[in-house]
């Protein structure tokens, strides 16, 4: 698979969706002004049907859309731990490699829907083990911060082994202290080419950080 890493520019917009895109749909999103697409890595070793495939990667890059790989979250009410983080991170890193994602790209961990009464240390262990696991494959671990993530803004900044944050469009999602977020999501009930999506905007965070995505090269 061709392509290279690129720093997502401040102000760029991309979309996230849970549906595979055809060539026609990818061109329609590009014509609508989007610069990239966030599509899913599976929780299993090996991509399952409906998640990002090598064919879809080629379609997106050919349409001029950067790729933002994000791993599916576990079912709401899940219990994180260092062991689950290592397991999921290995799957994310292996799948990204099989898809041809260039080393150095940010892979995103979706952190939301954590079970009630989970200890913050277990959430921190999950995230840091996940980041370490994808790092073994040459990728940069990054964090999508959603509702019920079980961490405070200070914990998000102080205790996690990542410098890249994507804030959910949920009003209850916390914003990491000091650094802030590099991507802001806006929840929308819109569709293009019968594909429902949310809009995401890249911004330089308070410490000058920007995410790395996969672009055509």
CB atoms within 10 A of CB 121: 12
If one counts every other C-beta atom within 10 angstroms of the C-beta of residue 13, the result is 15
What's the gap between Cα 69 and its chain centre?
A: 5
User: Does the predicted model carry a pTM greater than 0.85?
Assistant: yes
Residue-level pLDDT at 200 = 98
Measured CA to CA, the distance from residue 43 to residue 22 in angstroms comes to 23
In the structure encoding, which two tokens stand for residue 15, read together? 């979309």
- Profile the chain (217 residues) by mean pLDDT over runs of 10 residues: 92 98 98 98 97 98 98 97 98 98 98 97 98 98 98 98 98 97 95 97 98 96
Q: Which one, of 104, 100, 97, lies nearest residue 1 by Cα?
A: 100
Domain boundaries, the chain: 4-215
85 bridge partner residues: none
Measured distance CA(134)–CA(141) in Å, rounded: 6
**Under CATH, what is the fold of the domain 4-215?**
TIM Barrel (3.20.20)
Query: How many Cα atoms sit within 13 Å of 26 on the Cβ side?
Result: 21
Nearest CA to 60 out of 92, 94, 17 is that of 17
CB atoms near residue 59 (< 10 Å): 20
- In this prediction, residue 189 carries a pLDDT of 83
- pLDDT given at position 217: 85
Going by the DSSP 8-state scheme, the letter that residue 22 receives in this structure is: -
Predicted pLDDT at 1? 64
At 39, give phi and psi (nearest 5°). Answer: -135, 165
């Amino acid at each position: 698979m061709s392509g290279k890493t690129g720093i997502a520019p401040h102000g760029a917009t991309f979309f996230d969706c849970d549906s595979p895109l055809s060539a026609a749909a990818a061109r329609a999103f590009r014509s609508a002004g989007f610069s990239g697409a966030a599509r899913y890595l599976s929780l299993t070793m090996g991509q399952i049907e409906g998640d990002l495939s090598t064919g879809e990667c080629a379609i997106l890059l050919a349409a001029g859309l950067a790729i933002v790989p994000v791993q599916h979250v576990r079912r709401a009410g899940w219990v994180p731990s260092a062991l689950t983080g290592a397991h999921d991170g290995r799957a994310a890193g292996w799948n990204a490699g099989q898809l041809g994602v260039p080393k150095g790209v940010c892979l995103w961990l979706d952190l939301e829907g954590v079970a009630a009464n989970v200890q913050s240390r277990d959430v921190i262990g999950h995230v840091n083990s996940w980041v370490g696991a994808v790092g073994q494959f040459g990728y940069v671990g990054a964090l999508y911060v959603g509702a019920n993530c079980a961490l405070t803004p200070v914990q998000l900044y102080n205790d996690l082994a990542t410098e890249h944050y994507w804030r959910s469009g949920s009003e209850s999602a916390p914003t990491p202290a000091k650094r802030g977020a590099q991507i802001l999501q806006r929840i929308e009930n819109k569709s293009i080419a019968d594909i429902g999506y949310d809009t995401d905007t890249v911004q330089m965070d308070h410490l000058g950080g920007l995410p790395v995505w996969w672009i055509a090269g």
